Amino acid sequence: MATRIFLCNRTDNSSINDLIKEAICSINKGYPYRVFWECGDIKTVKTGDVVFFKRTQDKPLGYFASGVVVAAHPEEQLRLQQDLYKNLDTCYSGIDESNGNFYVDIEWNSCVDFEEPLRADLLKANHRFSGAYFDHRESGGSFKEEYVCLLAEFWDKHIEKLIGHRKGASLKATTPSSIQERKEPESAIPISSGAGFGNSDSNREIEQIAIETVTAQYKQQGWHVESVERIKCGYDLRCVKEGKREDVEVKGVSGTDLSFILTAGELSQAEQNSNFVLWAVTSAQSKDKHLHQWSGIELLKSFNFNPIAFKAKLKEL
């Protein structure tokens, strides 16, 4: 999956400040914020691509949001409306007939105040980004893969600082367990912690143990393993061996019950990405760990998926 840069300026997006306020509110409540955005005449955007949004035209220039490309609702997918677009991905939801520019659906999972972007000039001046390209002229262009994790690292540090000043929000700081706690009645039956259930501290510990366990498993088998957790692209590890690639999502569970939370991005990966693999590590904190593995297709066939939260938006009359 690619990492793409989408562009935004005040001239074409005069309501961007209001959009960001809505997004921060939504993300702070534990929900990604859905937008659809122009990508020019680019036809290669895919569901699951990671995205960064960049402020352009007037200073300060830089990145103010990040997220993932998602599938449009079936009734909005261009490929199902006209044979001309049948080869487009499910994320394409519109086209401007006046100029031929396409639109794709995206979910933001983090964003900051439009006046406080991660400044592109400071990144360009950093020697670690030597060779990276920051001057995209069209929305939807790719960012060099070798610099993606570094960009995500700088983005995480930037957004963490602004969250402290209430000028940003990230789903990384709003766990699925917090949504569950608001939605479930007090009489709800307790279940195993980890994989989105339980308190955030224990979840982080269990997930880290699970990721380390699966990473070791791949490395023992001769795979090159790269962590892409910072990118929030719908999986945790990118594993490559002899031309074969697996995009690995890891779930850690403290007990033996195979039950865990999937984000919308992870489910999209299972549906759309043929390289997607999910590993669940049960009894993660014990010496008697058990590892379970499914491809995306196997996952969809083997599990029931039950929503634990919904985003409600007022209908337009």
Is the separation of the CB atoms in 139 and 40 below 8 Å? Answer: yes
Where does a domain end: 173, 189, 215?
173
pLDDT value, residue 128 = 95
Q: Which segments of the chain does DSSP mark as H helices, in order?
A: 16-28, 120-125, 148-163, 176-183, 200-220, 264-272, 296-302
Which 3 state secondary structure label does DSSP give 21? Answer: helix
The answer to the question of residue 313 being in a domain is no
**pLDDT more than 90, % of the chain:** 58
Looking at the DSSP assignment, which residues form a beta bridge with residue 251?
280
- Residue 35 sits at φ, ψ, to 5 deg, of -135, 160
Is the separation of the CB atoms in 70 and 53 below 8 Å? Answer: no
If phi > 0 it is left, if psi is from -120 to 50 it is alpha, else beta; for residue 163 that is alpha
pLDDT at 311 over 80: no
**pLDDT more than 70, % of the chain:** 88
- Rounded CA-CA distance 290/73 in Å is 37
What is the residue range of 186's domain? 181-302
CATH of the domain at 165: 3.10.590
- Residue 316 sits at φ, ψ, to 5 deg, of -85, 130
Average pLDDT, the chain: 86
CATH of the domain at 291: 3.40.1350.10
> Are residue 50 and residue 167 in the same domain, yes or no?
yes
Where does a domain end: 127, 151, 173?
173
pLDDT value, residue 173 = 56
Q: What percent of the chain is helix, strand and coil (3-state, nearest 5)?
A: 30, 25, 40
Where does a domain end: 125, 147, 173?
173
Going by pLDDT thresholds of 50, 70 and 90, the confidence category of residue 202 is: low
> Are residue 144 and residue 289 in the same domain, yes or no?
no
> Are residue 90 and residue 214 in the same domain, yes or no?
no
> Are residue 7 and residue 154 in the same domain, yes or no?
yes
The answer to the question of residue 41 being in a domain is yes
> How many domains is the chain built from?
2
The answer to the question of residue 317 being in a domain is no
The answer to the question of residue 207 being in a domain is yes
The answer to the question of residue 222 being in a domain is yes
> Are residue 222 and residue 263 in the same domain, yes or no?
yes
pLDDT at 64 over 90: yes
pLDDT in tens, 223-266: 999 888 776 778 899 999 998 999 999 999 888 889 888 887 78
> Are residue 78 and residue 147 in the same domain, yes or no?
yes
> Are residue 11 and residue 143 in the same domain, yes or no?
yes
Could you tell me the pTM of the whole model? 0.61
The answer to the question of residue 257 being in a domain is yes
Residue 167 in tokens: 């000028």
pLDDT value, residue 194 = 46
Q: What angle do CA 196, 201, 203 make, to 5 degrees?
A: 25
pLDDT at 139 over 90: yes
Lowest-pLDDT choice from 125-129, 151-155, 191-195: 191-195
pLDDT in tens, 205-220: 889 999 999 999 999 9
Chain-centre distance of CA 270, in angstroms?
Answer: 13
The answer to the question of residue 94 being in a domain is yes
> Are residue 169 and residue 29 in the same domain, yes or no?
yes
> Are residue 130 and residue 22 in the same domain, yes or no?
yes
- Residue with the larger pLDDT of the pair 227 and 194: 227
Is the separation of the CB atoms in 112 and 119 below 8 Å? Answer: no
> Are residue 195 and residue 75 in the same domain, yes or no?
no
Residue 122 in tokens: 């400071």
The answer to the question of residue 310 being in a domain is no
> Are residue 241 and residue 140 in the same domain, yes or no?
no
pLDDT in tens, 142-190: 999 999 999 999 999 999 999 988 899 998 754 433 333 333 333 333 3
Residue 53 in tokens: 């949004």
- What are the distances in angstroms from CA 6 to CA 36, 63, 87, 217? 11, 9, 22, 36
pLDDT in tens, 91-116: 999 998 888 999 999 999 999 999 99
> Are residue 254 and residue 218 in the same domain, yes or no?
yes
Looking at the DSSP assignment, which residues form a beta bridge with residue 5?
52, 141
